[in-house]
Amino acid sequence: MTRVLIVEDDPQLVRALTINLRARKYEAEAASDGTAALQLAAATPPDAVLLDLGLPDMDGLDVIRDLRLRSGVPIVVVSARSTSDEKIAALDAGADDYVTKPFSMDELLARLRAAVRRTETAAPAADDMRIVTTQGFTVDLVAKRVTRDGRDVRLTPTEWQLLELLIRNPGRLVSQKQLLQEVWGSSYGTQANYLRVYMAQLRRKLEADPTHPRHLITEPGMGYRFVA
């Protein structure tokens, strides 16, 4: 059973999350502040963490940093903080995903599932994953070949690197900073405009309707996500 640690000081939300998680066969445990959360996580390491940022005793960002010192447990932030800077700060501190309150329970659970699946399969997936198929296009990660409607799509090396990084993290929010640093290098962490240009090119080549992308999704102010 997957054990989820809910870190949240709103009792009603804790109740709603607990009921929904248990109904889907998760084990749910709750902590109402950061100190209790870190103690619980140290005593019995959870398989995933749902984390509020506005906690009574400490900032959720410090909870993320502390958890990251000792584990790679997937952390999905569930917060009312909605500015880009706040979201980026959480991702940079080590959060895996970010859901803004108010949220849809289905969406939150989908994000949680994706985060857990990634950690479970992270090691083998990188090697095993060869062909990724979507409704619109197919990517062969070994042959470095993309086809759409049976025809080869030519990508530039930069477009390919971006696409590959997203595809190797299916469903996961990949931060702007991570994409920029891995594709362009460590000094490019803030050049979000580069990303916008290249993502627009990729969508023109791969999406049926580039203005309403279905596979290469923008998470405003945060990054991008590949959905198969």
The residues binding Ca ion (CB under 5 A) are 9, 52, 54
CA–CA dist 189, 217 (Å, integer): 20
State in angstroms the smallest separation of the CB of 9 from Ca ion: 5
Which is closer to Ca ion, CB of 63 or CB of 180? 63
Q: Among residues 40 and 125, whose Cβ is nearest to Ca ion?
A: 40
- C-beta of residue 180 within 8 angstroms of C-beta of residue 191: yes
- Judged by CB, which is closer to Ca ion: 58, or 165? 58
Taking Cα atoms as reference points, which of 78, 34, 39, 30 lies closest to residue 60? 34
Distances (CA, A) of 175 to 162, 178, 213: 12, 5, 18
Residues 60, 79 contacting (CB under 8 angstroms): yes
Give me the least distance between CB of 61 and Ca ion, in Å please.
13
CB 149, CB 205: distance < 8 Å: no
User: Which residue's Cβ lies closest to Ca ion?
Assistant: 54
Nearer to Ca ion among residue 79 and residue 176 (C-beta): 79
β-strand partners of 107: none
Minimum distance from residue 12 beta carbon to Ca ion (Å): 11
**Alpha helix positions (H), the chain:** 11-23, 34-43, 60-70, 84-93, 105-128, 157-167, 176-183, 192-206
In the block, residue with structure tokens 């995933």: 48
* Shortest distance (Å) from residue 3 CB to Ca ion: 22
Residue nearer to Ca ion on the CB measure, 9 or 62: 9
Bridge partners, 145 (sequence order) = 140
- Shortest distance, CB of residue 10 to Ca ion, whole angstroms? 6
